[in-house]
């Protein structure tokens, strides 16, 4: 091979090496300058925000009807009274400006009336709560009457004997204030008897609560009992007692007794004992009537003109719950009668 040819071959190989080195160097430079590919961003997930809850503001007298003890209601029926969210907005409105009881001193007590009323397309016997409001400058009474068909004699006892008393009602907006600094105009008949203690109570004592009636005596008018000529008779006969009413002005005792024997209500052998029993009950009733008239006469003599005026202006209001979609409609069973002591309400709402 010629020398010139060798030089050319060597020169060609050297050029190829330089080209490869240059190419490799450029590739490394490009790799160094190349930025890493950006990572894909995660899509943000948004949790659905719960809709804000709105609570109605509590009304100032919202629990007034519940605060008044339902006198005479059987203990095992109390829960059924509160099974509905009864609405007594009519009672609350009465104490607002322009209402019948606004700015007046009022004494409230509760009671219940079992009535057949429509509810959700059916007629049901519902224990309806009722509130009686007595507009008076002083408590209408500090006594409770205990009476029922099953009891032989009526009892009039101090409220405190049955753990009841008139206590001031504090509206919601004033419950942070000291009670003794408040000049309360609303008083409720409250009962402090605890339900958990009922199991240890004797049956007779327990039943007394069920026979309780708020007592009221109106000295300005003659009581119905003073005028009554009837006596309730519960004669302890065998095999069952005799229950009846005897009017000493309208009934003739021999004829009355014979009718009971004919109806198999009284055994013939017990005729004389029954007649003696009735005569004794009539004597007791006449004596009680005389004493009641004398007590009323004496009370009137000792009563101030201011107190007489208060009794004359005293008014009774009877509140039934307002109908709502969630409660039974009681509009057709409203009645003015309160109880045998108070008589009828001046107004029903």
296 and 166 in a common domain = no
Band the pLDDT of 301: cuts 50, 70, 90: confident
pTM above 0.85, yes or no: no
153 and 91 in a common domain = yes
**83-104 pLDDT, tens digit each:** 888 999 999 999 888 899 998 9
Residues spanned by the domain of 127: 63-218+313-348
Specify if 2 maps to a domain.
no
pLDDT, position 3: 46
Band the pLDDT of 175: cuts 50, 70, 90: low
**Residue 107 class from Cβ within 10 Å (0-12 exposed, 13-18 middle, 19+ buried)?**
buried
Give yes or no for residue 299 having a pLDDT over 90.
no
Give yes or no for residue 7 having a pLDDT over 80.
no
Q: Are 317 and 346 in contact (CB under 8 A)?
A: yes
Distance CA 74, CA 149 (A): 15
166 and 79 in a common domain = yes
290 and 173 in a common domain = no
Band the pLDDT of 29: cuts 50, 70, 90: very low
pLDDT, position 133: 95
327 and 277 in a common domain = no
Give yes or no for residue 144 having a pLDDT over 70.
yes
pLDDT, position 1: 47
Specify if 26 maps to a domain.
no
Among the listed residues 142, 47, 122, 109, the one whose alpha carbon sits nearest the alpha carbon of residue 345: 109
CATH assignment at residue 287: 3.10.20
Specify if 33 maps to a domain.
no
Average pLDDT of the chain is 79
pLDDT, position 108: 94
Specify if 17 maps to a domain.
no
Distance CA 98, CA 200 (A): 48
Specify if 105 maps to a domain.
yes
Please give the backbone phi and psi of residue 132, each rounded to the nearest 5 degrees, phi first: -105, 125
Specify if 7 maps to a domain.
no
Specify if 243 maps to a domain.
yes
246 and 151 in a common domain = no
Cis peptide leading into 324, omega within 30 of 0? no
Distance CA 262, CA 12 (A): 153
Specify if 225 maps to a domain.
yes
210 and 149 in a common domain = yes
Please give the backbone phi and psi of residue 121, each rounded to the nearest 5 degrees, phi first: 80, 0
pLDDT, position 187: 94
Please give the backbone phi and psi of residue 291, each rounded to the nearest 5 degrees, phi first: -65, -40
pLDDT, position 336: 92
Q: How many domains does the chain have?
A: 2
pLDDT, position 59: 74
Band the pLDDT of 292: cuts 50, 70, 90: confident
296 and 229 in a common domain = yes
228 and 87 in a common domain = no
194 and 336 in a common domain = yes
190 and 324 in a common domain = yes
Q: Which stretch of 31-40, 98-107, 332-341 has the lowest confidence by average pLDDT?
A: 31-40
180 and 81 in a common domain = yes
**36-85 pLDDT, tens digit each:** 555 555 555 555 666 655 445 667 777 888 888 888 888 778 888 888 88
């Amino acid at each position: 091979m010629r020398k010139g040819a060798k030089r050319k071959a060597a020169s060609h190989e050297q050029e190829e090496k330089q080209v490869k080195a240059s190419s490799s160097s450029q590739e490394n430079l490009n790799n160094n300058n190349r930025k890493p590919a950006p990572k894909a961003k995660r899509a943000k997930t948004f949790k659905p925000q719960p809709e804000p809850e709105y609570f109605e503001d509590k009304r100032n007298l919202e629990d007034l009807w519940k605060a008044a003890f339902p006198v005479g209601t059987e203990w095992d029926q109390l829960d059924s009274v509160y099974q509905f969210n009864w609405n007594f907005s009519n009672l609350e409105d009465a104490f607002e400006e322009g209402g019948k009881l606004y700015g007046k001193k009022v004494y409230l007590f509760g009671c219940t009336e079992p009535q057949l009323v429509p509810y959700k397309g059916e007629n049901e016997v519902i224990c309806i709560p009722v509130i009686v409001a007595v507009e008076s400058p002083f408590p209408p009474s500090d006594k409770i009457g205990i009476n029922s068909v099953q009891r032989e004699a009526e009892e009039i006892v101090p409220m405190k004997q049955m753990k009841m008393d008139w206590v001031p009602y504090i509206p919601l907006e004033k419950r942070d204030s000291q009670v003794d600094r408040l000049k309360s105009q609303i008083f409720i008949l409250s009962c402090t008897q605890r339900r958990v203690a009922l199991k240890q109570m004797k049956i007779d004592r327990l039943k007394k609560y069920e026979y309780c009636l708020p007592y009221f005596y109106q000295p300005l008018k003659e009581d119905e009992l003073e005028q009554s000529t009837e006596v309730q008779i519960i004669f302890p006969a065998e095999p069952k007692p005799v229950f009846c009413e005897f009017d000493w002005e309208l009934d003739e005792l021999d004829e009355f007794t014979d009718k009971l024997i004919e109806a198999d209500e009284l055994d013939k052998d017990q005729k004389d004992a029954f007649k003696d029993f009735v005569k004794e009950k009539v004597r007791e009733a006449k004596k009680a009537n005389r004493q009641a008239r004398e007590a009323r006469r004496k009370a009137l003599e000792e009563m101030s003109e201011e107190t007489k005026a208060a009794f004359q202006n005293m008014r009774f209001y009877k509140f039934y719950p307002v109908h709502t979609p969630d409660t039974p409609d009681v509009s057709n069973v409203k009645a003015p009668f309160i109880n045998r002591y108070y008589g009828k309400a001046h107004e029903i709402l």
